[in-house]
Every structure is written in structure tokens, then in C-alpha cells.
Amino acid sequence: MTLTERKRRVLEAIIDSYVATAEPVGSRTIARKYRLGVSPATIRNEMADLEELGYLEQPHTSAGRVPSDKGYRYYVDTLMPMKRLTSEEVERIRAFYRQRYREMETIIQQTARVLSESTDYISVVLGPGLSQTGLRFVQMVPLGTDKAVILTATETGFVGHLTVNLPPMSPEERERVIGVINEGLQGQRLEDLGRGLIRRLYRELSAFRSVVEELLGSLQSSLEGAEEGERVYTGGTTNILNQPEFRDVEKVKMVLGVLEQTRLVHELLGPPRSSEITITIGKEIQIKEMQDCSVVTASYRVAGQPIGRIGVLGPKRMRYARAVAVVEQVARALSEALGPG
């Protein structure tokens, strides 16, 4: 199972060359450009072995070799050099977050932007999942005579608002309803909102059953909706058009088509989790339309909690080391930017 040192170097050389040129790699090329100290014939033998082991593929008999999914997998697991970003690049990423954006949405959009600009791949960012963090603050503010805004703030510092309609009632009634509701809502965690509050509200506001129902209903559905239909942001979608393997419009259509479907993007990036950078290659991706691609993802955190995901999406022939470095750095910078938020 474990390859000889020379086989590893040959595999690495092939991947390196293929990633750079998108052309199948021949034994001559390897011998010439990478100083392995052996002749093309020897390399040919090694390549034949590597192909038999499943690390390489041949588009057709007299073409060079191309890495297989398994080849890439071996590369990222054991061959890939740890890449450090230059300090200019780190600085460039930092600079994106230097200006203290006030709105979360802007921060997320900037993140999609910096990711795609730094990698030349497609970037994908999921907004923070709000429902998984507790609510720190809920308050209802009357707005005109027939509406009210419910302000929410999560423990992780995200503020949201939600408009609800109020049924007709007198100003005094309104005052009282809102007062009671606010008392009930104050400082509640979302999970706890249910039973106790509802019972209490019903008791105190039995005349306004419908308000309470609408209110709790929309609060709940908006917070649930915030999870399921969580905003998906993408950047640099046109970058894929620069990749030679996507010169065929049909392939582009498949990939971009997936990105328009929120559900599939969630599946692609996976749930926020604490573990480190994840690399998924070709057929390892469950989504059929994406199996010519690879994706490098990471979670970002607030207060130590992973609450969202970012990633870059490119051809399998991806500059993995660089992608990993960028995604890692951006995830860190984003977490910091949201931290004191």
C-alpha cells in the first residue's frame, strides 16, 4: 500500500505538472523538468505501476498520464507540501476585514469575494446558522398602529429583525400586549420560548390569542427558515470559465446549476463542525454534477463555536496547497472579524 519513495516523487511530479498545464503528462516531461536522476524509460515503468495501483489514468493509449481521484487523494493526504501564504497575501486578506463593516451581510459578501479573488476558483460561503445558537435578546417594538418589529440578537452577536402584523386594537391594548410579550420574551433562549411563555401569554392575553399565535409562529418559522434556507453567497463564478476542463458549456451548466440550489450547496459544504479543513475530491462529492470538481472547505467560528462554512470550488486539477492555505486564512480572518462583532 505504501509507495516507494521514487513512486511518490513521480506521482508528485505528475500532479504538479498536470495541475500547471492541464495536459496529460508523459515520461519525457517528467524526466526533463523534474530531476529524478533516472531516464524516461524508468519513469515509464513507475508510471505503469502507478496506473495499475490506481493512482493514474490514461485518457487513451498514446497520451500521457493524468492523476485519478485516488492519486489526488494520496497527494493531499501525504505528499502535499504545507504552503504558507506570503505576508503580502495575508495582508491582502486582512485588509478586506480591516474596515469594520457593520452589517453581517457585507462581511459575508466580502468573504466570498476575497476567497474567489485569492484563489481564482469559485467561492461559496454559508451565512451563520442562527438557530443553533441561543438567543440573547428578543424585543418587540411597535411600528405604526398595525405592525411591530421583533428585534432578535443571538448569543453570538447577530442581530436580526422581523416584521409582524398586529390585529386592530386600541392603543392601550397594544401597549399592554407588547408589554406582556416583551416581558415574556426578554432574555429567552429560543428553545425555551415554547411552553412556559405560551401558557403565560395565553393566560394574560386570552383576548389576543391570534396575535400570540401569529407572533410565535412567525418568530419560529423565521428562525427555522434561517437555518434551512440559510443564505448562500457565491463569488467568482466566472472563474470556472477559465478552466480548460470546462470549455464545454454542458459541464459549466451542471456546476453552476448546482450552485443555484441552496439545498445542494449546503450538502456540498456540509454542516459547520469543529474539525479542520476538509478536502473533497471528484467522486468523493456525492453530488453527481460536481464530480469533476474538488472542494476545499472550513468552518468559521464565533466565540469558539463553528457556526458557518466557507469553501472554494474548482476543478479536480486544483492547486490544493494554495487553496488550503487561503481557505484556512480566510476562515480565521472571518472568525476574528465576527468575533468582537
Partner DNA sequence: CTTAGCACTCTCCGCCCTAGAGTGCTAAAA
Partner DNA sequence: TTTTAGCACTCTAGGGCGGAGAGTGCTAAG
Site for DNA, rule CB under 7 A: 6, 23-29, 37-42, 44-45, 47-48, 51, 58, 60-65
Nearest CB to DNA, comparing residues 47 and 211: 47
Residue closer to DNA (CB basis): 52 or 191: 52
Cα 78 to Cα 140: distance, rounded to the nearest angstrom: 55
**Shorter beta-carbon distance to DNA: residue 46 or 69:** 46
Distance from C-alpha of 265 to C-alpha of 43, rounded to nearest angstrom: 41
Judge contact between 74 and 1, C-beta under 8 A.
Answer: no
Count of positions on this chain that bind a second copy (CB under 8 A): 34
Q: Out of a second copy, DNA, none, which partner does residue 29 contact, by CB within 5 to 8 A per kind?
A: DNA
C-beta separation of 122 from 312 below 8 A: yes
With respect to a second copy, which residue has the nearer C-beta, 11 or 150? 150
Q: Is 218 in the site for a second copy (CB under 8 A)?
A: yes
Per DSSP, the three-state class of 128 is coil
CA-to-CA separations, 66 to 59, 110, 195, in angstroms, rounded:
7, 35, 60
Burial of 296 (0-12, 13-18, 19+ CB in 10 A): buried
Residue type at position 225: G
By CB under 8 A, name the one of 93, 164, 181, 337 that touches a second copy. 164
Which is nearer to a second copy, 51 or 289 (by Cβ)?
A: 289
229-258 footprint of a second copy as x/- string (CB under 8 A): ------xxxx--xx---xx-x--xx--xx-
Residue 102 as a binder of a second copy (CB under 8 A): the answer is yes
**Separation of alpha carbons 230 and 124, rounded Å:** 13
The amino acid present at 65, given as its one-letter code, is R
Dihedral sign for Cα 168, 172, 176, 179, please: positive
> Closest distance between a second copy and the C-beta of residue 256, in Å?
5
Q: Measure the CA–CA gap between 162 and 166, rounded to whole angstroms.
A: 13
The residues, any chain, with a CB within 8 Å of residue 4's CB and separated by 6 or more, are none
Task: Burial-class residue 211 by CB neighbours within 10 Å (0-12, 13-18, 19+).
Answer: buried
Question: Is 118 within 8 Å of 89 (Cβ atoms)?
Answer: yes
Subset of residues 15 to 54 that bind a second copy, contact rule: CB under 8 A:
none
Q: Compute the radius of gyration of the chain from its Cα atoms.
A: 26
Q: Does 162 bind a second copy (CB under 8 A)?
A: yes
Q: CB-wise, 14 or 107, nearer to a second copy? A: 107
Binding mask 291-330 for a second copy (x = CB under 8 A): ----------------------------------------
| Residue with Cβ nearer a second copy (82 or 249) | 249
Q: Which does 62 bind (CB under 5 to 8 A by kind): a second copy, DNA, none?
A: DNA
Find residue 137's DSSP bridge partners.
153
Please choose which of a second copy, DNA, none residue 252 contacts, taking the beta carbon within 5 to 8 angstroms, the exact cut-off set by kind. Answer: a second copy
With respect to a second copy, which residue has the nearer C-beta, 153 or 205? 153
Separation CA 312–CA 235 (nearest Å): 9
Output 134 or 160, the one with its CB closest to a second copy.
160
283 binds, among DNA, a second copy, none (CB under 5 to 8 A by kind): none
DSSP 68: -
**26 touches which of DNA, a second copy, none (CB within 5 to 8 A by kind)?**
DNA
Q: Scanning residues 259 to 278, which ones bind a second copy (CB under 8 A)?
A: 260
Residue 138, SS3? Answer: strand
Binding site for a second copy (CB under 8 A): 102-103, 136-137, 139, 141, 143-144, 149, 151, 153, 159-164, 218, 222, 235-238, 241-242, 246-247, 249, 252-253, 256-257, 260, 341
